[in-house]
Amino acid sequence: MVRGGRQFHWHNRGYRCFDEFLASLASRKRKTVRKERLEALADGISIEHVRGAEITEAHWDAFFDFYMDTGGRKWGRPYLNRRFFSELGRRVADRCLLVMARRSGRHIAGALNLIGGDCLYGRYWGAIEHHPCLHFEVCYYQAIEWAIASGMSRVEAGAQGDHKLARGYEPVATFSSHWIADPGFARAVDRFLTEERAHIEQERQMLAEFLPFRKSVAAEDA
């Protein structure tokens, strides 16, 4: 049985730099992105990318604080412990990209991305200080810049958050396959999945109407 889903992905259409990506957006959306990026760094905040051997235990200490803050506020019970991040760094540091925000000599926010063959997977984010638009900068715009510079074909930003649409992340259909041994239970689940897939596809098409791209770009994709 196939279960349908939906995530938000940013697609690299051969952009050579972030400004080329901006040029694909409608004028009003382009101005909004530029404004958000300026606001995110307005309080003397700087951004750094840390990868591989550059990632230290101090980076993981800081990021774990960010993770716990977000988990405590949104999920109620963060499920990863501090040791997990050290093990991640020890085993696959070359596949980890930390985007860290620093202010007044200390890290105040960060996002953890995992690097695939041609894709950047955004996974966790957190902050110990609130600053307007910092979330958008650290999680979305920095990921796009890094993907363009690294020749990645896309950034996968997960399933939640319709606000990603305005930042150029598009609703994409996903799926998973399942087998249930009990025939009666399987029939009930299959009926539900059939209805759910139709609903999810309808929602995905509706969300796609709110993408920020210029009409000519949207027409080319169609």
pLDDT at position 69 is: 87
Pure H helices in the chain: 18-23, 27-40, 57-74, 82-92, 134-135, 142-150, 183-208, 215-221
**By percentage, how much of the chain surpasses pLDDT 90?**
89
Q: What is the average pLDDT score of the chain?
A: 94
Sign of CA dihedral 175, 84, 58, 78: positive
Sign of CA dihedral 130, 136, 142, 147: positive
Number of helices (H), then strands (E), belonging to the chain: the values are 8, 7
Residues 47-73 pLDDT 10s: 999 999 999 999 999 999 999 987 766
Provide mean pLDDT across the span 123-144.
Answer: 96
Q: Rg of the chain's alpha carbons, rounded to an integer? A: 19
The domain limits of the chain are 1-37+133-217, 43-131
Provide mean pLDDT across the span 181-205.
Answer: 96
pLDDT tier, 220 (very low <50, low <70, confident <90, very high otherwise): low
pLDDT at position 75 is: 56
55's CB contacts (< 8 A; 6+ apart) are 89, 93, 96, 98
Residue 5 tokens read as: 């889903």
The whole-model pTM stands at 0.91
Q: Which CATH superfamily is domain 43-131 in?
A: Gcn5-related N-acetyltransferase (GNAT) (3.40.630.30)
pLDDT at position 77 is: 76
**Cβ of 216: how many Cβ atoms within 10 Å?**
8
What is the longest distance spanned by two Cα atoms in the chain? 61
